[in-house]
Structure 1
């Protein structure tokens, strides 16, 4: 279940619970739980709906919790704080999500072409091309995204050499924040496509997609450092390594697909 699917499910649940259409938003914002308890996703829609309807937020949140808890693919739903609703996917749903992300990304342009890429990235983000030309992770957000993509390809190559193949069993022992960002790629990419189809004159209409890719890259690099996808030393490869490689594979697909939409290359070596 992606954030977009959960958004639609939450709206349908609120309608079934009797919420007036006039107080419902067009789309429910679903995000990674930001310091508000566990789970894979979180939404504060109950706070917004309750405020519009003049009802207690916790009452609305509880109605949403009860409805979502009965949905397939959802293992647990909890009301947190003043009315946030946190959702935990089932292991099968989480594994399906990772597989779908890994399989769904279009291949990126493997050429390393800094001049073209910098110009297009700068047009989307408004960043200084001179700063982007300094190809370090600290100086250039573009380099950070392309480097993260290259790291996903490297760990997968090294994994194959060790005989470790990506396989996510759905457990959320690590990488939950990264997975939530990966899952949100479809929504952000759709917004970029709509902007492109509308022929928006301001090239910065693609800015949200670029910023999302930076967030994915940063989350992956943090994940890579704190939860190494490959065994080291005498460590034996296990299910955790296979699961982390699956997240690396999904990250690579998401980054390549996003860079392709921006007309920016995704070199496997950088």
Structure 2
């Protein structure tokens, strides 16, 4: 927009920022912005015309395949798929630290909880995510956690007791009274059951839901997707080829978007102390991978090609993100299911 104003194509004050988001249901492209709608009145032009001007300039930018005006004045942006090798190479280089901040930022965060299992599990996961973003974290609670909470769910606190000065308290909705004990699910499923719902939603701790080895169970889909990435690597080795980042086809579009969003998801989950954002992102990543996993290995008498090596590299990158994300939630990622 600034360049369009400098060139005399638009007459308006350039705002400090532009809101860019993933397109909503029915939208197109990788990202969308309502900037044209925001500035159209000041520019004295129809929003659609402003969106067309911005789209033309965005299309000429490196890393963008094309941009177009949509609806009453939105700009839809599609990224250049040739950036795939760089993204996959970055994930392969950083491993499960992909999306982490390289060094301590000096930020200090205090998380205080009531004496509640879910609050402590959320605080523990928030601590892990905050550490990934370079913050030093101290978790305290009104009382010492129950021994079984520590043994099964792995929660811990740095100190307990009611503070003399009130602290901001992390207060997610506790489990429904009288329901199944989440700890009976085991460490991984218990943590997932308490972390996956949004803080204002009551978690369900039904064993039939969280222990089912079925696609209806989101935790199972994530762990199955990770195990599948590891199996693909083993199977490719049996066929005599290994991964090599390269261009991908359209079937990988959703997966590439999920992998590219991972650092932003971690930063947002840390800033808002919201591990549930990471859980939903891992479900999205797993589903995007599983939708195209069948394309990775050669079929029948087909010989391994550069495309297969590229797809394998992308699959391994997905596995890295899934394993790293589960680790930040305090949940294991088995290679075999």
When the two structures are superposed, what TM-score results if normalisation uses the length of structure 2? Answer: 0.62
Cα gap change, 1:163/1:44 in structure 2, threshold over 3 Å: closer, same or farther?
same
Give distance in 2, aligned partners of 1:160 and 1:133.
33
Which is higher, the Rg of structure 1 or of structure 2? 2
Cα gap change, 1:144/1:47 in structure 2, threshold over 3 Å: closer, same or farther?
farther
Unpaired stretches in structure 2, ≥5 consecutive residues: 6-11, 99-152, 154-184, 198-202
Contact 1:229 1:241 in 2 (8 A): yes
Residue 49 (structure 2) pairs with residue 59 (structure 1): yes
Contact 1:61 1:85 in 2 (8 A): no
Cα gap change, 1:128/1:90 in structure 2, threshold over 3 Å: closer, same or farther?
closer
By relative contact order (CA 8 Å, sep 6+), the higher-ranking structure is 1
Partner of 2:80: 89
Q: How far does the alpha carbon of each residue in 1:192-250 deviate from its partner, in whole angstroms, 9 at most, with x for none?
A: 22234xxxxxxxx211210111111111111114xx21112211111221121121011
Unpaired stretches in structure 1, ≥5 consecutive residues: 1-13, 197-204
Map 1:204-223 to 2 at 5 A: 205-223=274-292
Give distance in 1, aligned partners of 2:95 and 2:48.
39
Partner of 1:29: 21
Deviation at 1:35, TM superposition (A): 5.0
Partner of 1:73: 63
Give distance in 1, aligned partners of 2:220 and 2:302.
32
Cα gap change, 1:101/1:34 in structure 2, threshold over 3 Å: closer, same or farther?
farther
Deviation at 1:146, TM superposition (A): 0.8
Deviation at 1:107, TM superposition (A): 6.9
Partner of 1:120: 191
SS at 2:69 equivalent: strand
When the two structures are superposed, what TM-score results if normalisation uses the length of structure 1? Answer: 0.76
Give distance in 2, aligned partners of 1:98 and 1:255.
14
Q: How far does the alpha carbon of each residue in 1:38-62 deviate from its partner, in whole angstroms, 9 at most, with x for none?
A: x5x2313335534785853322322
Deviation at 1:174, TM superposition (A): 2.5
Deviation at 1:176, TM superposition (A): 1.0
Partner of 2:121: none
Partner of 1:10: none
Give distance in 2, aligned partners of 1:48 and 1:117.
46
Contact 2:189 2:211 in 1 (8 A): no
Give distance in 1, aligned partners of 2:260 and 2:26.
19
Deviation at 1:20, TM superposition (A): 3.5
SS at 2:78 equivalent: strand
Deviation at 1:16, TM superposition (A): 4.3
Map 1:1-270 to 2 at 5 A: 14-18=1-5, 20=13, 24-25=17-18, 27-30=19-22, 36-37=27-28, 41-46=30-35, 48-50=37-39, 55-82=45-72, 83-89=74-80, 91=82, 93-106=83-96, 115-126=186-197, 127-129=203-205, 130-196=207-273, 205-225=274-294, 228-270=295-337
Q: How far does the alpha carbon of each residue in 1:159-183 deviate from its partner, in whole angstroms, 9 at most, with x for none?
A: 1221222223224342112111221
Give distance in 2, aligned partners of 1:209 and 1:48.
31
Give distance in 2, aligned partners of 1:42 and 1:101.
22
Q: Where is the helix percentage greater, Structure 1 or Structure 2?
A: 1
